[in-house]
Each structure stands twice: as structure tokens, then as C-alpha cells.
Amino acid sequence: MKSSRFLLVGLIVLLAMAALACSLVGDDTTPAVTDEVPAVTEEVPAVTEEAPVVTEETPAATEEAPVVTEETPAATEETSVVTEETPAATEETPAATTEVPALQGQFLEQWAVTATASSEYGNPDWAAIQAIGAPNTQECGDFVTAWASSTSSSPYEWLELRYAIPVFPDQIRIYETYSPGSIIRVEVITPVSDYIAVWEDGPRTDEDCPHVLTIPVEGIEERVFGVRITLDQSIIQSWNEIDAVQLVGRAFE
């Protein structure tokens, strides 16, 4: 009977201890679960902190827009460069017109491409180069666009001109624009520098102004590429100014 009581008491004690153990185990587990909750809660700010990163990239894309806008003026400046080249092409046209003779049937009509003289009243005004090319003095008068010697009463002055294409000469036309009549000799020049006289006369005081002295050329059986004009201004006592000299001839026999 006593042994049954001891067993019962022991069983009660074991049950009590088991209950106490369960209580202790339950108490230990609860804090463990509770401790893990803040860990999950702490991760939420981490996700929140990434949002500003995405926001900061938006201004970067906005800053690239001015770069595209700045390139537009550069393209506009290149257009002006192309426009500025147009006058350069226009200025070359007179040079080509002077050097290329006009073709009239079988004859070439050429204006001088170079000129020299015994003297000049000035440079470039009244210089020998004023006799190059087509006439550009429109009326009679003492204009800077024609050649004039250094003095007005010299008994001996000359003007010499060269042409682009040697020809068999047919005619020479001398454009006098002030005090015409002092021309006394006209010669043609061969490529080997032979001077052949084609016309001679004394000073004349009754010429109209402006005046074109037209000289027929015959019997020259070789090509010429130059003309020499000799003047005696001692009679008229004034500048016999020459604006242009045209050589007419055939390039082939």
C-alpha cells in the first residue's frame, strides 16, 4: 500500500516536472519567434532606400537634352561657309573672258593679255595694264582706265601688247580715247621677236574722239602674237590715250 503511494507521488512529481519543463520550453520558444520579427521589419527600410537611386537617374537623362540642342548652331555655321564661296567663282569670269578670243567665222578676235610701255603716267591709273582686255572707257576724256605716257609732248613713246594665240594677222584695231592722232607706226611681233611694220603715218590733228584706228594687215605669211604702237605727241602736245588694242587673224592658213 505504501509502495503504491510512493509510486503515485513519484508519478505526480514527474508529471509536475514535465509540466514545468513544457512551460519552460514554451517560454523559451516564444522569445525566439519574437526576436525574428524585428529582422523582417528591418529589411523594409532596405527596399525603401533603393527608391531614391531610381529617382536620381531621371535628371541624368534630362541633362543630355542640351547636348543635342548645342549641335544645331554648328550645322548652321557650315551653311554660311558654302555661301561665302559663291563670289569666288563669280570673280574668275572676267579673267576667262579676257584670255579666250571670240571666234568669228575663220578669224580670231583677241584682246591683249599683257602690256608694257616706254613710260606711264601712273600705276595702276593710266598704266600700260589699262590697255589689257576689252575697252572699258565709254567716252572721250582723260580717264584713268586708258594708258597715258608720263609726259604729254614727248616725240617718242611706245606701247607693246601680247596676245594668247599666235595668228596670221588680218586687222588691228586701236581704241583711242583722248587726243587721238599721235600714232605714227604700228608693227606686229613674231614669236621669235621680229618686228614687222604694217602701218606708218604722221601725226594727225583732225581725228574724232573717241576714235578707232583700224589698220588692214596684208602679206604677213607667218604667225604673230604681239603689236607695237609708236607715238609722236610733240605736234598735238597732249596725251594720246589708248584704252584697248584688238588683233584679228587666222589661227590656220
What confidence tens digit (pLDDT) does each residue in 56-109 have?
443 443 344 344 344 443 433 443 333 334 333 333 333 333 444 554 447 899
H/E stretch holding 177 reads: strand 157-178
At 54, is the secondary structure helix, strand, or coil?
A: helix
Is the per-residue pLDDT at 130 higher than 60? yes
**162 contacts: CB under 8 Å, gap ≥ 6:** 112, 113, 114, 115, 189, 225, 226
CA distances from residue 141 to 14, 56, 134, 179, 238 in whole angstroms, order as listed? 150, 84, 17, 8, 12
Q: What residue spans define the domains of the chain?
A: 2-83, 103-250
Write down the pLDDT at residue 99. 44
Is the per-residue pLDDT at 120 higher than 80? yes
Architecture of domain 103-250: Sandwich (2.60)
| 44-58, 153-167, 178-192, 195-209, range with the lowest pLDDT | 44-58
**171 contacts: CB under 8 Å, gap ≥ 6:** 214, 215, 216, 217, 248, 249
Is the per-residue pLDDT at 210 higher than 90? yes
Global pTM exceeds 0.85: no
Write down the pLDDT at residue 9. 67
- Using pLDDT thresholds of 50, 70 and 90, give the confidence band for residue 35: very low
